[in-house]
Structure 1
Amino acid sequence: MRRLIAAVALVACSSPEADPAPTRPAGWHVARGFVRDPDGRAVILRGVNVGRKTAPYLDFHGPDDFRRISQTWGMNAVRFLVFWTAIEPTKGVYDRAYLEKVAERMRWARDAGLLVVVDAHQDLFGEPFGGDGAPRWACAEEHYEKYVPRTPWFLGYTDPHLQACVDGFWASTALQDSLAGALVEVAKTLRDNEAVIGFEPMNEPHWGSGAISAFEETKLQPFYERIVPKVRAAAPHWLAFLEPGANRNLGIPTRLQPLPFPNVVYAPHSYDGAAESGDGFNPAAQEVLASNVAALRPEADALGAALWIGEYGGDTSKPGIGAYMDGEYDGTGRVAGGQMYWIDGRDGGYATHEADGSEKPVLLDAIVRPYPMRVAGDPVRWTHDRVGGVFTFVYRPDRSLPAPTEISLPARAFPSPPKVDCGGCTFELEGNRLRITKPAAGEEVTVTVRR
């Protein structure tokens, strides 16, 4: 543990007595483009995805793993995968044993100081298609039997039998209500755990055989308007993390419209098409990638939502992984967005660790980065030169908020106590966290941290 350092501004500024602090929403909420904690601070959710797509639908994560994410890596959140088939393997029958094991892991996350977004995950509709998500009973057996797998995996969505199952889901309010019922059971199980702040109704929603251009307007938006109120009836305080259609992964801007309920987080994914095709990442495309990520902020603003990249990641066995992750980080930093790496796992592909549990330094050096965790005001942007060891953060302080601004400075990026320049603020530096208890004067202030 690094020693506690306190620094006090050399120049003090006087000001008239402040007006009483305005009344703020209780609990977690979205305001002015950011997720806000009960103290009114903007919270940048940065972390990793956690989960296993096949039975028993729970991976290796124990208390020590959640503490690693929080304390060693300096992250503040996990996107925790749950699966409809695990919750409701038999129609109308919920697996209480599975739900209790999920609850146990959420307690471990809470005890580690992490926040959690519960993600109802799916890929390729369900396991009979080589994917995950929906229970087998949610589609006719004939479609499973006639399915022909494709390579790469996502081309499975072009199979007419898989499309029939996807189309059937969007056409059936009964199936949608079954998924909602499963998520209500999750909400009832987890709603008293203060670490769980929200849910995501569906991962990468696909259009099936329908027109891409009409999917969000005619299928996805009505689905969200149907399912979110049902889940919130059980957990009214949960934020709604809503993805655009999977067509957004193709670079097609979302056509979602503002939702008729508050506290929405826009939750797209960010992957580079060339890298996803298996060729690795071209470092010359880093600036283009960063610009594409930053372009997601106006879409969130149009929805009156916060911005959170629910997935980004890359195959560490392919060239260019460092530049790839730098581009993702730079893009979110430009527009002050949250982001979650896919995935904290153990394999030779996208995972943070090898199969034997050893770390992948080339990846972790690129994703374990400094960032503002909680901001008493509005974040504007941040940058990190990981070679030169300089982190710069710009924000607009809200001086009516008594809680401090907190910045994560993981030891991987700052192995020894860093030099902090915040223009005359009052701050404390303890371990891997910088707390600004009194910001410098000015409408917009800059914090610079050097290795």
Structure 2
Amino acid sequence: MQRSTNRTCRRSRTIAVAVALLAALFPALGLTAPVGAQGADPWDAFNQVSGANGAEYIADGSNRALQFRGVNIKTTDPINGASEQVLDAIEARGFNLVRLSIFWNLFEPVDDDYDQDYLDDVDQVLTWAEDRGLWVIVDFHQDVFGPAFGDYGIPEWATDDGGLPFEDTGSFLTNYLQPGVQEAWENLYEDPEIRAAQAEAWTRIATEYRDHPNVLGYDLLNEPFGKMREGEDLFTAAARVERVQLTAMYQRLTDAIRTVDERSWMFIEAPNLASLGIATSLGRVDDPRVAFYPHMYNTDIETEIYNGSGDPSGYDSNFFANWAAAITTYTDRYPVPMLVGEWGVPTPYEGLDRYIAEALVTLEETSSGWNWFNGCLGGGYCTFGPDGEDREQVDQIVQPYARAIAGLPDEHHYDPATRTLRLTYADGEATGATELVVPSAKHYPAGWSLIVDGVPVGSGAADEPSTGVSGDLRRAVADDSVVVESPLDGVDVVSLAVPQDGTTHAVCITPLEAAQRCDAPLAEEPTAEPPSTGETAPSDAGAPSDAGAPESGAAPSDGRSSPGAGESRPLSPRFTG
């Protein structure tokens, strides 16, 4: 992709929204100028609002509820694994969030001896992401604890295995159950010196990156685990670890980070048992900016593909309801925003399109954002093909969405069958514009229509760019009541301001050729994305799977391998712990 040398100039290019409108109806609608749509701080996300639907949202200084769509970048080589080419591909789909892994053993390989080159590489990636309008959550990542057990994460100098044995079983899950790994987790939580070292490490990370305005916050520990004590099974141990050890650790780390960074969000995870329908026992972390950040992986999908047996699409369709019921117990107890830190499929085999479609519906219903695993170029879990192109089935995750809502969100749903985005929200205390991200080239090659409270406000055609909103539109409504920017070819950002009148508003994006209605029926069941009108990259079904098959029935965790360059040791295959 040829990049502009002046991104600010490129982002200000405006396309026409007045291809078709009913000018006589605009005064009745009463659109007003979207205050804050232009010139506002784009990196303001440090309030919280409650939606009309009962969910909690991260909000900006104008009390607009924010939503996020994005990917993980898991790599041990930040410059190459999170390269400008990868970030370009992320930006080009209209995504706005990256979860970027860092590894303690790489930035502090020796106690109190930090690798500044590694930290500077991460710093460079954060700058590249900011240039592309991407929020970043810095992910303190571990797999099977760390290098003492053949992976990445907690450094060996901070690993106390009590002299207990470790035997690589070839299974990610059962490696977590090895005596040495179990003891290392126990000492991470209980040993005063290791606890202090972990807090110091996080303080250093926050000090390094707190001045990046696009750092949304810190994921305090990827997929934590713990020790099964005598008389416990996996689930009773997890409940105790969450309630007693993990909650306390998150509070310690939050308190440490707050000594140097008062602004960023803290993202907390539970052991990845919700995929088995097991609710978390994690407690409250006392801080005004804490968000729950669970993962969603389907055991059937993971094991069928890894084991090479059966139909990879033959998963239990109750999975999503069970996952949602388990995971929302936390946000039912504690009023915090929830985003989903990881979800995805090992390889987009035929038949997984329906799984991805159902997952997207579940994520819309339970969270205000998500990160697909993994943001890389190639095969396997990668979002994009080797040259940054769409991958068959995975490209379903590119959808229109509202990234900022000037009110109290109620419904947010994209229906791929009708290519209709429907947003409803109640008036609240928010000011400024509601902002919609519209991947116009992918979903609306013939153009799209914007409908607000039943009134067709205007439309945009992908092949009719211009330098400004038409004079007819400006005369029909207050100046700048609807602004459409095209930050990249094929992606439109719609900003609109609807006056507050104490009611609930409905905003829709529909195909230009469709009947201009905002109450179009949604598909009764999730439907896979219809084929794109452009060329689609061939499926990567023939790509080799990650090594190391899990035991049948093992839940997925975070050992997914990403093909970033420069990795000194292969990352583990992924399935749960």
**TM-score normalized with structure 1 length:** 0.88
Aligned to 1:49: 72
Report the 3-state secondary structure (helix = DSSP H, G, I; strand = E; otherwise coil) of the residue aligned with 2:222.
coil
Please point out which of 129, 142, 167 is paired with 1:148. Answer: 167
Conservation of the 8 A alpha-carbon contact between 1:294 and 1:334: no
Whose relative contact order is higher, 1 or 2, with alpha carbons under 8 Å and at least 6 apart?
A: 2
Aligned to 1:344: 375
Deviation at 1:363, TM superposition (A): 3.6
Paired residues for 1:97-136 under 5 Å: 97-136=117-156
Alpha-carbon distance between aligned partners in 1 of 2:276 and 2:149, rounded to the nearest angstrom = 22
Alignment of 1:40 onto 2:63: yes
Alpha-carbon distance between aligned partners in 2 of 1:262 and 1:203, rounded to the nearest angstrom = 21
Conservation of the 8 A alpha-carbon contact between 2:71 and 2:374: yes
Alpha-carbon distance between aligned partners in 2 of 1:176 and 1:391, rounded to the nearest angstrom = 47
Conservation of the 8 A alpha-carbon contact between 1:156 and 1:162: yes
Alpha-carbon distance between aligned partners in 1 of 2:331 and 2:202, rounded to the nearest angstrom = 24
Deviation at 1:288, TM superposition (A): 4.2
Please point out which of 416, 430, 445 is paired with 2:505. Answer: 445
Deviation at 1:78, TM superposition (A): 0.6
Alignment of 1:204 onto 2:223: yes
Per-residue CA deviations over 1:166-209 (Å, capped at 9, x if unaligned) read 22212213212212211211111111111012101100010232
Q: 1:346 to 1:63 in 2, by over 3 A?
A: closer
Alpha-carbon distance between aligned partners in 1 of 2:419 and 2:176, rounded to the nearest angstrom = 43
Paired residues for 1:116-265 under 5 Å: 116-140=136-160, 146-210=165-229, 211-265=237-291
Alpha-carbon distance between aligned partners in 2 of 1:376 and 1:2, rounded to the nearest angstrom = 21
Aligned to 1:396: 426
Conservation of the 8 A alpha-carbon contact between 2:45 and 2:216: no
Alignment of 1:430 onto 2:430: no
The amino acid that maps onto 2:82 is H
Report the 3-state secondary structure (helix = DSSP H, G, I; strand = E; otherwise coil) of the residue aligned with 2:89.
helix
Conservation of the 8 A alpha-carbon contact between 2:86 and 2:375: no
Alignment of 1:31 onto 2:61: no
Q: 1:169 to 1:270 in 2, by over 3 A?
A: same
Q: 1:442 to 1:297 in 2, by over 3 A?
A: farther
Conservation of the 8 A alpha-carbon contact between 2:64 and 2:404: yes
Please point out which of 17, 35, 50 is paired with 1:5. Answer: 17
Paired residues for 1:336-415 under 5 Å: 336-354=367-385, 356-357=386-387, 359-398=389-428, 400-410=429-439, 411-415=441-445
Alpha-carbon distance between aligned partners in 2 of 1:307 and 1:140, rounded to the nearest angstrom = 33
Alpha-carbon distance between aligned partners in 2 of 1:319 and 1:274, rounded to the nearest angstrom = 15
Per-residue CA deviations over 1:392-439 (Å, capped at 9, x if unaligned) read 2222233x4332111111132333421222224653333321222225
Alpha-carbon distance between aligned partners in 2 of 1:85 and 1:40, rounded to the nearest angstrom = 39
Alpha-carbon distance between aligned partners in 2 of 1:320 and 1:440, rounded to the nearest angstrom = 45
Conservation of the 8 A alpha-carbon contact between 1:322 and 1:363: yes
Conservation of the 8 A alpha-carbon contact between 1:241 and 1:265: yes
Larger Rg: 2
Q: 1:151 to 1:383 in 2, by over 3 A?
A: farther
Report the 3-state secondary structure (helix = DSSP H, G, I; strand = E; otherwise coil) of the residue aligned with 1:197.
strand
Deviation at 1:2, TM superposition (A): 7.7
Q: 1:325 to 1:439 in 2, by over 3 A?
A: farther
Deviation at 1:359, TM superposition (A): 3.3
Alpha-carbon distance between aligned partners in 1 of 2:418 and 2:137, rounded to the nearest angstrom = 33
Alpha-carbon distance between aligned partners in 2 of 1:393 and 1:294, rounded to the nearest angstrom = 24
Deviation at 1:213, TM superposition (A): 2.4
Alpha-carbon distance between aligned partners in 2 of 1:413 and 1:283, rounded to the nearest angstrom = 28
Alpha-carbon distance between aligned partners in 1 of 2:336 and 2:161, rounded to the nearest angstrom = 40
Q: 1:397 to 1:365 in 2, by over 3 A?
A: farther
The amino acid that maps onto 2:359 is E
Conservation of the 8 A alpha-carbon contact between 1:30 and 1:265: no
The amino acid that maps onto 1:173 is P
Deviation at 1:152, TM superposition (A): 3.5
Q: 1:290 to 1:283 in 2, by over 3 A?
A: farther
Aligned to 1:90: 110
Conservation of the 8 A alpha-carbon contact between 1:300 and 1:306: yes
The amino acid that maps onto 1:312 is W
Alpha-carbon distance between aligned partners in 2 of 1:320 and 1:158, rounded to the nearest angstrom = 33
Alignment of 1:268 onto 2:294: yes
Q: Which runs of 5+ in 1 are unaligned?
A: 15-25
Alignment of 1:62 onto 2:92: no
Alpha-carbon distance between aligned partners in 2 of 1:230 and 1:73, rounded to the nearest angstrom = 36
The amino acid that maps onto 1:149 is D
Q: 1:163 to 1:57 in 2, by over 3 A?
A: farther
Deviation at 1:295, TM superposition (A): 5.7
Conservation of the 8 A alpha-carbon contact between 1:143 and 1:162: no
Alpha-carbon distance between aligned partners in 2 of 1:390 and 1:325, rounded to the nearest angstrom = 18
**TM-score normalized with structure 2 length:** 0.70
The amino acid that maps onto 1:247 is L
The amino acid that maps onto 2:261 is A
Alpha-carbon distance between aligned partners in 1 of 2:115 and 2:365, rounded to the nearest angstrom = 43
The amino acid that maps onto 1:5 is V
Q: Which runs of 5+ in 2 are unaligned?
A: 1-12, 31-43, 51-55, 230-236, 306-310, 458-480, 487-491, 512-577
Deviation at 1:97, TM superposition (A): 1.6
Alpha-carbon distance between aligned partners in 2 of 1:358 and 1:63, rounded to the nearest angstrom = 11
Alpha-carbon distance between aligned partners in 1 of 2:401 and 2:342, rounded to the nearest angstrom = 17
Q: 1:362 to 1:31 in 2, by over 3 A?
A: same
Conservation of the 8 A alpha-carbon contact between 1:242 and 1:267: yes
Per-residue CA deviations over 1:304-336 (Å, capped at 9, x if unaligned) read 210100111112253432222212210121245
Deviation at 1:11, TM superposition (A): 4.8
Paired residues for 1:298-317 under 5 Å: 298-317=329-348
Conservation of the 8 A alpha-carbon contact between 1:51 and 1:59: no
